[in-house]
Structure formats: structure tokens, C-alpha cells
């Protein structure tokens, strides 16, 4: 009998007979009908089609072999893991959120294509991927139009991540976190590799817990015919800004750009403190300024060793003048220790003690090799981890500590 001529009642009866004759088919049938509630809501016609697919894949003689070639593969079991280093160069990606064909049936190593991500200047608008679609009614809205993408971003392409202290579920506290469900078209024949980075700054992007540099979505997870596979995970960030995923599938590469909003994590603040001191010691005024906030008011306080008095100032003009004057006097700071000066504040306050400070003014005061400052610096930050205040002195108290004996 031609299977395409069978009625629905005939097909159901034949499936029950085959299950009685083949216990392994009955187990598959039971597993199919006990899938999660959202899958169980599919129409009876879809369930019937899925059952026929199982019959075909197990080689039941009811269905003609010529129909078997039209069926998609049925993978099993999700896997999230860190993939090996890049080894293969493939075609460049699109920066618009649409896939670019690159072939099929490639190995995991071949998915490590060079990152082809745009660069966005700090302060410029983030060119977020606004295209979205919902290819499977059992899943949420997928960002981008490729065969794999994230679920959970807003319609405006925004990801509002949490700081590590805000989530008890996270064990790796060096990165913030945001739950992302990844969706992969069941037609994708193989694994999918996800990587990314910040576009308007130096920060990286990580995945899962503990945070790793990339995520491999293995192509072996169950999906009903016509459905999409789904993989839960975390996207990990350390600073707000403009970011992009590069999603490499066997036959496509997709770039999905989003804007991240959330707190700076301690490692970012530490990077800016060290960067500021390094630029200061190198005599680079603009480099030192680059580590101060561009969106929040900035200020400073310090000892002026020429007058041996406390000085302070506010705004970028006064900050630039102070940096230019000190750097012009060959002022140098040697860090002894960096510590958390106020762990109760959400943005954090770092303290810095200095093992040595030297300058022309200090040398003229009788200390050619420099001095060991009695006070350290207290440094505050904005939400992006940039410095808003560099207080290096008696903090409004008596200026005795600015005097050189």
C-alpha cells in the first residue's frame, strides 16, 4: 500500500501494530508523546507526522524507502562546551544579522573562522541588530535572521545584565551575567560556534559558568520535525557598551549586534586604574584622560609638592591642567597595593597605596630618589568602570601629609 494514501486512522492503527511487534519502537513512541508540555500542545496532525518520521527512521517496512530521503535528521542530547582554538579560515561574515553561505558539513575546527566584527567609536550609536523572527511557536523571539540566534534580548536589541553580586546562581564572580536561550534550526546539520566581543571598547564577552571564551552548541539535541533546538546558557560581561556575537554554523556565519546595560565589574575598574597610572608615568596626558568618565562629572585632589599644599579641581579642563603640570614635572607613581576601599558601594571604590613617588619638585625639596607617600589614593568610578574621582591626598583634612620633612 502506498503510505501517502493511508488515512489518519489507518496510520495510527499501523503504528500501534508496529509498536507491539517492535518494543524499541514503543519506547520511542512513549518518549515522543511525553515531551515537555509546550511540545505536547502541537496539533494531532503534527504528532502524527512526527510518529511517521520515527517509523521511517527505524526502517519499518510500512514506508517506502524513497520517502526516507526527504526526512530531516533527529538529533539527541544538548551539549555546551569550550571549543578548541581557531584553525581554519572561511568566508567573512555579514554585519547585518543575515547569514552568509560558506558551505556545509564542516568540522568543529573549521567553525573557528576569523572574527569579522565592525568597530564602533566610543560615544557613537550602537548599530544593533533589530531584525527578529519567531520561527517556532514553542520558542521566544530570535534576534537576527540566521539559522541560529539568541532569545531574550529586547526588541531594541538591549541586554540588561546583572552584576555578579546580584545573582546567587553564578559561581564565577569575575563577570556579570545574563540568561540567554540559544535557538538553532533543526535543518542545521552540525554544531554551531558562538563567540563575541565589545565593539566600542576593549572588553571581552564570555559564556556560561565558569566563564569561557566561546560556546559550542552541539547538533545532537532532539527537535520535532520542523522545530528548532534550544540551548540555555549565560552571556557574561564586565562593562556596558556595544557588543556583537558571531554565530558560525556549518553553512553560514551571522553577526548579531546588541547594546549591553549593567554595572562595571571589578576587573574593569582595576584595568582603568592600572591604565591611568601607566599613562601618567609615561607622560601621556591624553592616555591618562582616556581612563576618566566621559559621561559623569570628574574631579581630583592631590598634593602639590612645589607649594606643599593640597590642590583639587573639577571638570575635564582643570583635570587636564593638573595632569599636564604634574607630567611636565616628571611626576611618577609606583603602585604598592590596590584594594577594595568600600565593598558596600555598588560601583565600588578602590584604594591605591604607593611605594614611591618622585618628581622634579620632590627632588628640589631634597629627595632626589623620591619619597614614600604617607597617604594613598581613593578612586571612584562610573557605571562603565571609568574613573570619576582621583583623590590622592588628605581628602579635605589638614595638609600636613603634603609637607616634605
For the chain, domain boundaries: 3-68, 80-261, 266-402
CA–CA distance, 315 with 294 (Å, rounded to integer): 10
Q: Is the pLDDT of residue 298 over 60?
A: yes
**pTM of the prediction?**
0.51
> pLDDT digits over 385-403, tens only?
899 999 997 665 566 778 8
Q: How many Å apart are CA 327 and CA 16, to the nearest integer?
A: 86
User: Which among 87-101, 310-324, 330-344 has the top mean pLDDT?
Assistant: 310-324
Q: Which of 112-116, 214-218, 263-267, 309-313 is the least confident region?
A: 263-267
- Given a cut of 50, whether residue 278 has pLDDT beyond it is yes
Kindly report the number of other CB atoms within 10 A of residue 8's CB atom: 10
Confidence of residue 66 (pLDDT cuts 50, 70, 90): very low
Least confident of 59-68, 82-91, 257-266: 82-91
Task: Kindly indicate the confidence band of residue 328, based on its pLDDT and cuts at 50, 70 and 90.
Answer: very high
Give yes or no for a contact between 38 and 32, defined as CB atoms under 8 angstroms apart.
no
Rounded to whole angstroms, how far apart are CA atoms 287 and 276? 7
pLDDT confidence of residue 88: 24
CB 249 within 8 A of CB 192: yes
* pLDDT per position as a tens digit, 176-195: 899 999 999 988 888 999 99
Distance CA 352, CA 373 (A): 11
State mean pLDDT over 229-248: 94
- Band of the pLDDT at 291, cuts 50, 70, 90? very high
Q: Can you give the pLDDT at residue 76?
A: 29
How far apart are alpha carbons 318 and 302 in whole angstroms?
13
Give the whole-angstrom CA distance, residue 27 versus residue 237: 43
Please report which confidence band the pLDDT of residue 405 belongs to, taking 50, 70 and 90 as the band edges. Answer: confident
State in words which class domain 266-402 has. Answer: alpha beta
Backbone angles phi, psi at 352, to 5 degrees: -130, 125
Amino acid at each position: 500500500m502506498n503510505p501517502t494514501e493511508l488515512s489518519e486512522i489507518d496510520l495510527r492503527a499501523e503504528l500501534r501494530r508496529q509498536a507491539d511487534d517492535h518494543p524499541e519502537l514503543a519506547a520511542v513512541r512513549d518518549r515522543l508523546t511525553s515531551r515537555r508540555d509546550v511540545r505536547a500542545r502541537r496539533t494531532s496532525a503534527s504528532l502524527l507526522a512526527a510518529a511517521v518520521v520515527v517509523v521511517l527512521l527505524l526502517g519499518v517496512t510500512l514506508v517506502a524507502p524513497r520517502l526516507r530521503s526527504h526526512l530531516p535528521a533527529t538529533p539527541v542530547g544538548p551539549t555546551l562546551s569550550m571549543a578548541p582554538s581557531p584553525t581554519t579560515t572561511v568566508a567573512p561574515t555579514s554585519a547585518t544579522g543575515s547569514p552568509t553561505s560558506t558551505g556545509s558539513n564542516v568540522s568543529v575546527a573549521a567553525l573557528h573562522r576569523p572574527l569579522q566584527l565592525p568597530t564602533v567609536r566610543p560615544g557613537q550609536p550602537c548599530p544593533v541588530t533589530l531584525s527578529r523572527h519567531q520561527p517556532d511557536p514553542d520558542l521566544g523571539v530570535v534576534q537576527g535572521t540566521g539559522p541560529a540566534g539568541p532569545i531574550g534580548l529586547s526588541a531594541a536589541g538591549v541586554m540588561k545584565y546583572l552584576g555578579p553580586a546580584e545573582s546567587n546562581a553564578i559561581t564565577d564572580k569575575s563577570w556579570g551575567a545574563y540568561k540567554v536561550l540559544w535557538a538553532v534550526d533543526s535543518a542545521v546539520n552540525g554544531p554551531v560556534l558562538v563567540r563575541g566581543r565589545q565593539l566600542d571598547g576593549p572588553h571581552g564577552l564570555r559564556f556560561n559558568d565558569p566563564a569561557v571564551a566561546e560556546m559550542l552548541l552541539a547538533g545532537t539535541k532532539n527537535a520535532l520535525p520542523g522545530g528548532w533546538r534550544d540551548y540555555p546558557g549565560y552571556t557574561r560581561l564586565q562593562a556596558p557598551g556595544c557588543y556583537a556575537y558571531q554565530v558560525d554554523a556549518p553553512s553560514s556565519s551571522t553577526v548579531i549586534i546588541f547594546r549591553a546595560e549593567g554595572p562595571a565589574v571589578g576587573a574593569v575598574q582595576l584595568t582603568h586604574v592600572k591604565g591611568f597610572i601607566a599613562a601618567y608615568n609615561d607622560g601621556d596626558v591624553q592616555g591618562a584622560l582616556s581612563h576618566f568618565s566621559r559621561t559623569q562629572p570628574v574631579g581630583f585632589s592631590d598634593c602639590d609638592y612645589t607649594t606643599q599644599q593640597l590642590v583639587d579641581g573639577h571638570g575635564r579642563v582643570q583635570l587636564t591642567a593638573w595632569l599636564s603640570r604634574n607630567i611636565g614635572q616628571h611626576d611618577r607613581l609606583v603602585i604598592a597595593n590596590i584594594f577594595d576601599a568600600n565593598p558596600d558601594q555598588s560601583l565600588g571604590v578602590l584604594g591605591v597605596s604607593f611605594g614611591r613617588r618622585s618628581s622634579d619638585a620632590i627632588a628640589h625639596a631634597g629627595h632626589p630618589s623620591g619619597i614614600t607617600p604617607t597617604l594613598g589614593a581613593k578612586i571612584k568610578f562610573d557605571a562603565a568602570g571609568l574613573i570619576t574621582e582621583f583623590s590622592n591626598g588628605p581628602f579635605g583634612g589638614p595638609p600636613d601629609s603634603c609637607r616634605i620633612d
